[in-house]
Structure 1
Amino acid sequence: MSLYNGSGLPFLPGYTFRDVMKSAYHRPQTLAYKNGFALPRRPTVGIGQTPLPSAQLEPEDIDKLSSETPFIDYGPSAEDPTLKFVPAHVALDKKALRFFGYFQQDVLHSPDEYYRVRHVVIYYHLEDDTMWIIEPRVQNSGLPQGKLMRRQRLPKNDQGEHYHWKDLNVGMDLVVYGVTYRITHCDAYTQEFLERQGILVNEPEIIPVDPYITHRTQPERCYITPSEFDNLKRFLTLDRKVLRFFALWEDIDSRYGETISPVTIHYFLMDDTVEVREIHQPNSGRDPFPILMRRQRLPKTIKAACEPFPRCVLEVSSQEVQEYFSPKDFRVGETVKLMGRSFLLYECDGFTKGYYQSNHPELEMKHGKGPKKGDWSQDRKWEVPPYNGFGSPEDSLQNCYSLVPKPPKKDVMKMLENDHKVLRYVAKLDSQNPNHKGRRFVLSYFLSNNMISIFEKPSRNSGIIAGKFLEKTRVLKPGFTLNDPNFYAPGDLVVGSTVEVFRHRFVLIDADDFVLKYLESISDQIPAQTLESLRKKPILVPEQEAGSEHNRVPVTPPDVLIRTPVSDGRQLSPVCR
């Protein structure tokens, strides 16, 4: 132990240079409060107020040290390339090996068979080393086929090991839970994967034939004359093979007149039976019976000796039929008559086309475009019943659209845009009655719902009770009815013209200023005659007498006040339009 005599002394192992004069060993304070918040700060001195080496460097030196790259004599150090790690569940996702094989199942207490050979498919998923085994389904096999073993890790031995893809190969036995599966071959991807991993794939093997299937196989029958009664052969070869035609049924005897309905005709090749199904359309008014004619053999020609037989009571047997309907009798583009009903064949499906091209190429098939949806009902003219007088015409029309009528739809945008917008006109009643001369009305046209209301201005000593003359309603033009309506529009209200309202004639003599401004804003929809009549309308004063029609006096514009002195010193009020 020697005395500390400077910072330049070497610090070697086993030697310590300690300052015996040092008495403070506390750490510097690095936390402080500023504006009530605790903030950390960088220490300026070390333990016991020892100056820090970094505090003795200038900022330029610190930046230089932080930006410098160390070099050695033979150049900069080479960085090792880091490989990107990809987990197995990402790299091997949806990648599986597929092997094909079989297993033998012992059959007890059966004199016809001792075992059965059942085919299997073995899948191995590379992402988690799980396997599952399925048996392809065979139609009418009578065996519970499908998934034999759910997806899991299969045990390899009693030591807890599991099968790995390295343990699988073609031509080996896979023992799983006491069942031995023989792997015979694999697909191309599996073979390529194993060979890429350095595993030599064995030669594929042939799956042995099931002896029970061989026992059941019947030798092909041979006859001196062609057989026409081998029903078993027809069932095995023609089962589920059906000719399908699309046709139109011309129902002449319908109670509602001649109608055309779309149908589908099925001809079963297995037993030469015919079935007719009706295609139903929504709101067609017909009961939804799916089958128009049940599946049966249809007689085409009946023997002459059996014609008077009461077929309406008893069924026609095969001894009475000379010829049944065959595929040759169904030709696209022609009409076929089944059970007294006429069917126009206009199209068939793809299987039917292929069948006729291979078996009956001599038949000419006139394929054409069938009627579109709703074409068979176009001949029926739908007429709207006349207005019954209850409610508005729109309300009564809803009874024709549905059994439970709904309120008619309103133009909400029009109502919101034109709310509180009213066109007001001054009108007089055009009547031969002298008592009605001089009556003045205010005709209001509401733009939100195209309704008209009429209000009569009160007049002194007229003897007529003024007030509401017509509530808000839509007014028909002359010559139109509610069954063929045409209502008054803003373009029809011309100053100087006559408006007929429920057999009352009104002559428009003046209009509000808002009427001209509004109609000019939509001048492209308004006739020029209407706008011209509003620009040149006369400015009139009320008639002096109720019975005088010719006392109309033009006055000056409303900005000029007319004041006429009278004998008693009073003045008249200004006259305005």
Structure 2
Amino acid sequence: MSWNWNSHGLPFLPGYTFQDVTKSAFHRPQTLKYNNGYALAHRPTVGIGQDPLLSVELLQQEISKLSFETPDITYGSFDQSIVEDFIPAHVALDKKVLVYYAYFQEDILFSPEEEYCVRPVVIYYYLEDDSMCIVEPKVENSGIPQGKRIKRQRLPKNERGEHYQWKDLNVGMDLEVYGVKYHITQCDTFTKEFMESEGLVLNNSEPMPVDPYSNRRENPPPSFKTPSGFDPMHQFLTMDRKVLHFFALWDDTDSLFGETRPVTVQYYLVDDTVEINEVYERNSGRFPFPVLMHRQKLPKKVKPKFETFPSCVLEVSAAEVDEYYSPKDFQVGQAVTLLGRRFLLHDCDAFTKEYYQKNHPDLEMKPFEVPKKTDLLKERKKEVPPYNGFGSPEDSLQNCFSLTPGPPTKDVLKILENSHNVLRYSARLDSQNPGEEGRQFILSYFLSDDMMSIFEKNTRNSGIIGGKFLRKNRIHKPGSTVDNSEFYSPADFAIGATVEVFGHRFVLTDADHYVLKYLESNATQIPLQTLESLRQKHSVGTANNQQADQNGHDVAEPSS
């Protein structure tokens, strides 16, 4: 009798379990294999010791019941309510910052004028991670290193390791961080609305205390000393980075190869220095070093005993100068001489105009427009130099356009369309010499480049060797000049017309049928006389050929 170990139904308790003595293998089935070097997992088909799996023995209905039903005894009733999506703090509170305005007092030691100074700061609280940073706004010419005092971090609240939270901040409280006590005076609108939405009411805003040193500088105490007329510190604090900018023309026509050049004149109000820069233009032929005069104080009037001072070698000190150039010496519309050079001020920028209207209203600023170089070049007509006789006029003209002349520009489209189109004419030489009466020529006109060539036919017992009489060349018409060149064209080649080529006169006697066909296709550009001469010539030739054929047929008919 065999015992069914899998279905005995006893509880899984000590004394109620039995081992299957017939089993000899207790290893787990392999669920991992490799295919082409990749690990592939698959579901097991048998259990431990080759036992069948429980899922194989259960029906599909029982599997569905186990999967979707949870017993209430073990886990209790299941709440079917919808759970809201969780939004992390770094998403919900991203870029939401609380801003507080505060200040701290810094003691000043060893100073008879002040005991402390008030330094305002801005406190930023980042809600996404409860971090804070403290920044002190920068003040120009303060002499104090300002900017970020504490970088963004969680600030400690006490010695127990606690940190400041947004609930701990309020207007009118003292925030002590790393031994420095910051007093909060006010906050921005977003901070106030956020606190009210969380049920916290902020205190009333407090005014920012006045710094004693700044107040004393703005309202100095009465002094019994005679104030000096010039205060360099006051000029530095009020005129720093304020520059009068003039547009001028440097008249350098008196020097060799001199010209009028555009420059800019800068007058620095902070120390009454002048700088002149040349306006660099592209393709001007000059090196890009525009500084014409470096920044310096320009003496306007030198003391009489120092007039012979070698200023071109040594610098003039302040003890040798009676007066320096000032803003009242620069007036738009007037010329000013600086270090022996004459500059014509023709315009200035908006700040300079505003400065003169406020400080020097008696000076009249009259800007005027300067003609541009392009306008001058347009007015001046380019003159082509006369032809020097070397090469063709087109080749010689290229020397006027570039230092490295190239070949003349050709009509590529015309060359491609008429690369094999040639007009051929028969011609005879019109000469006073009786020995040249029988010479026959073929005149070819190439439509691709408007050139001509002449070939002489061989005549037996003439004593003249035939062949090339003229290579391809463009032939001028009689009476044409270099400035007004006229060349032969198909419109000039009529039957019976005379063509003069380098002192030789040729009379056209006949032409190909292609010549008449081409000229008729371009009848609008060809004179009617030329077309009629070709038509008459071809009509006569056709009639002669027909008569010759008829005569030949009549003669041959009786012999047959």
TM category (shorter chain) comes to: 0.5 to 0.7
Superposed displacement of residue 299, structure 1: 3.9
CA spacing shift, 1:335–1:559, aligned 2, 3 Å:
farther
Separation in 1, partners of 2:285, 2:218: 54
* Equivalent AA in structure 2 for residue 454 of structure 1: S
Structure 1-normalised TM-score?
Answer: 0.61
Separation in 2, partners of 1:400, 1:221: 78
Correspondence 1:533 to 2:533: no
SS of 1:252's partner is: coil
The count of corresponding residues between Structure 1 and Structure 2 is 467
SS of 1:562's partner is: helix
Superposed displacement of residue 349, structure 1: 0.6
Give ranges in structure 2 of 5+ residues lacking alignment: 1-83
Superposed displacement of residue 422, structure 1: 2.5
Q: Can you list the C-alpha shifts for 1:198-223, whole angstroms capped at 9, x where unaligned?
A: 65444334445567877999947868
Q: Can you list the C-alpha shifts for 1:125-150, whole angstroms capped at 9, x where unaligned?
A: 77888766544444445666555666
* Equivalent AA in structure 1 for residue 331 of structure 2: R
Separation in 2, partners of 1:126, 1:457: 104
CA spacing shift, 1:157–1:311, aligned 2, 3 Å:
closer
Q: Can you list the C-alpha shifts for 1:509-528, whole angstroms capped at 9, x where unaligned?
A: 6655656666666667x3xx
Matched ranges for 1:162-561 at <5 A: 170-171=171-172, 183-192=184-193, 195=196, 200-208=201-209, 219=220, 227-256=228-257, 259-301=259-301, 321-372=321-372, 374-375=374-375, 411-416=411-416, 418-420=417-419, 422-426=421-425, 428=427, 431-434=430-433, 435-437=435-437, 438-447=439-448, 450-456=449-455, 458-461=457-460, 462-476=462-476, 484=483, 486=485, 488=487, 490=489, 493-495=492-494, 501-502=501-502, 504-506=504-506, 526=525, 530=527, 533-540=530-537, 554-556=540-542, 560=546
Q: Can you list the C-alpha shifts for 1:327-369, whole angstroms capped at 9, x where unaligned?
A: 2232212222333332221110111100111111122211222
Separation in 2, partners of 1:520, 1:85: 90
SS of 2:271's partner is: coil
Q: Can you list the C-alpha shifts for 1:62-84, whole angstroms capped at 9, x where unaligned?
A: xxxxxxxxxxxxxxxxxxxxx99
Superposed displacement of residue 228, structure 1: 3.0
Separation in 1, partners of 2:509, 2:159: 113
SS of 2:351's partner is: helix
Give ranges in structure 1 of 5+ residues lacking alignment: 1-82, 542-552, 572-577
CA spacing shift, 1:341–1:90, aligned 2, 3 Å:
same
Q: Can you list the C-alpha shifts for 1:516-548, whole angstroms capped at 9, x where unaligned?
A: 666666667x3xx5355225425548xxxxxxx
Superposed displacement of residue 289, structure 1: 3.4
SS of 2:527's partner is: helix
* Equivalent AA in structure 1 for residue 290 of structure 2: P
Range with greater deviation from structure 2 (217-226 or 502-511) = 217-226
Q: Can you list the C-alpha shifts for 1:478-500, whole angstroms capped at 9, x where unaligned?
A: 56666x47464857545365555
Comparing both structures, which one devotes a greater share of its residues to helix? Answer: 2
Superposed displacement of residue 234, structure 1: 1.9
RMSD between aligned residues:
5.2
Superposed displacement of residue 97, structure 1: 3.8
> Do the aligned partners of 1:104 and 1:118 also contact (CA within 8 Å) in 2?
yes
Separation in 2, partners of 1:84, 1:513: 95
Separation in 2, partners of 1:173, 1:197: 22
Identical pairs, percent: 51
Separation in 2, partners of 1:87, 1:388: 89
Separation in 1, partners of 2:527, 2:86: 84
Separation in 1, partners of 2:107, 2:244: 42
Correspondence 1:563 to 2:552: no
* Equivalent AA in structure 1 for residue 367 of structure 2: H
